[in-house]
Structure 1
């Protein structure tokens, strides 16, 4: 590598670091301001959410160092914005209830991001010299999809447990105006029955005007979250499949898929960067 190419690489690397620090720095500052506001309002649970958000914002950099991977700038920006949108805007500023579809949007992005994580983890094993087998692009895509769906299911387990143990409402309620059930006919067979809900009685009181229908306490929310998680996982799995199949070609995939670093190449790159000032 000549001096000009090395200088271009160093300049580009510095630009990436500046962009990363700018996005994370701005969001971290907003989280700190939110923490101060919550402290004045004595909302201690929201203060904990702010601390958790700061920890999550630092995770991409720690993951890069621990797993020896390089997260593309676009993917890293999406991760940072997702964390802020979910924790600060969603939980503290109540966007989950104020803005329809906010939860659906974030669960879709979550399925996409977790599939990327699963894809990268499997790719780490796929490129490791310690393993003698190599996985096909289709298998990598399937594993990424399954990994994303597994994390989605575990998250729904967490929401259900929190609602049952801590009396939260993470699994949001839905008002249903009609349901499908079954009844026994004279022959003893189950017959599907469509029921239109016209009145709702709760503890002997008429709640028809307040509710307007049957109150579902979590099933619809859970299934909706898993469905959009599935959409996000499928979207990334398709991108990952063609990325591996065509050996890393494609600007969209390259901007979204973490790259497994070669320790030897990274060491030589750092040596060249360290020699650069001396050569001048």
Structure 2
């Protein structure tokens, strides 16, 4: 039996924690929906739906990978699970977005997540013999560029939504539009956080690749060979 890696063990422990915490939370929420006052029942059922959706989003990559017999990079999946747990479950369900800098912390994490996904795309698009000839520095900078580009696309999405009366880019406060630099603080803060998260991940990747070029392959999706 092949020994699991450190990242796989961390992933399994965290997934177990996610499932237990969300199932317990779901049970308490359903109890409130069934036994609470009529005025609170609608909100409780909606909260229960959000918890179920969060749990499905976290676990569906594992289910798809098992069905299609694909190796799911554990470090990448761990970043993904952390991000969904922090954004959908803690952020949306329990309003952690009101915690100062919670959103910026998630952008740091998403920068690392997207940097890891850049490696996955790299492995799918670049021949293996060519990868061996590319310097670790270039690979690291590519992952930063990929992550920041995705962050810019996300800000495009938020800007488009704000055109329909939303306030995703926090350009309004108390119903009044902010002016000048104040109107840019949320968007630029998000982009800086994306960049810093991706850069920190790239530094770690560079150091790992200098020691072992095969480390990059731990982010590649690949078919599981049947014995």
TM value normalised by structure 1 = 0.60
Shift of 1:55: 3.5
Q: Which secondary structure state, in structure 2, belongs to the residue aligned with residue 109 of structure 1?
A: helix
Partner of 2:97: 96
Q: 1:137 to 1:57 in 2, by over 3 A?
A: same
Shift of 1:106: 0.9
Residues 237-266 of structure 1: per-residue CA shift (max 9 Å, x gap): 1112222232258xxxx6x98443665xx5
Cα distance between partner residues in 1 of 2:64 and 2:133:
24
Partner of 2:109: 109
**1:75–1:257 contact (8 Å) kept in structure 2:** no
Shift of 1:133: 8.5
**1:53–1:83 contact (8 Å) kept in structure 2:** yes
Q: 1:237 to 1:69 in 2, by over 3 A?
A: farther
Partner of 2:37: none
Shift of 1:156: 1.1
Partner of 1:71: 73
Which one has a bigger Cα radius of gyration? 1
Partner of 1:215: 178
Q: Which moved more, 1:102-111 or 1:235-244?
A: 235-244
Q: Which secondary structure state, in structure 2, belongs to the residue aligned with residue 232 of structure 1?
A: helix
2:179 pairs with 1:229: no
Partner of 1:135: 134
Q: Which secondary structure state, in structure 1, belongs to the residue aligned with residue 178 of structure 2?
A: strand
Structure with more strand by fraction: 1
**2:79–2:112 contact (8 Å) kept in structure 1:** no
**2:120–2:221 contact (8 Å) kept in structure 1:** no
**1:114–1:147 contact (8 Å) kept in structure 2:** yes
Q: Which secondary structure state, in structure 2, belongs to the residue aligned with residue 42 of structure 1?
A: helix
**1:70–1:258 contact (8 Å) kept in structure 2:** no
Q: Which secondary structure state, in structure 1, belongs to the residue aligned with residue 205 of structure 2?
A: helix
Could you tell me which runs of 5 or more consecutive residues in structure 1 were left unpaired when the two chains were aligned: 1-5, 176-209, 272-280
Backbone CA RMSD of aligned residues: 3.9
**Length, aligned pairs only:** 214
Cα distance between partner residues in 1 of 2:78 and 2:47:
24
Cα distance between partner residues in 2 of 1:83 and 1:157:
21
Shift of 1:235: 0.7
Could you tell me which runs of 5 or more consecutive residues in structure 2 were left unpaired when the two chains were aligned: 35-39
Shift of 1:70: 3.9
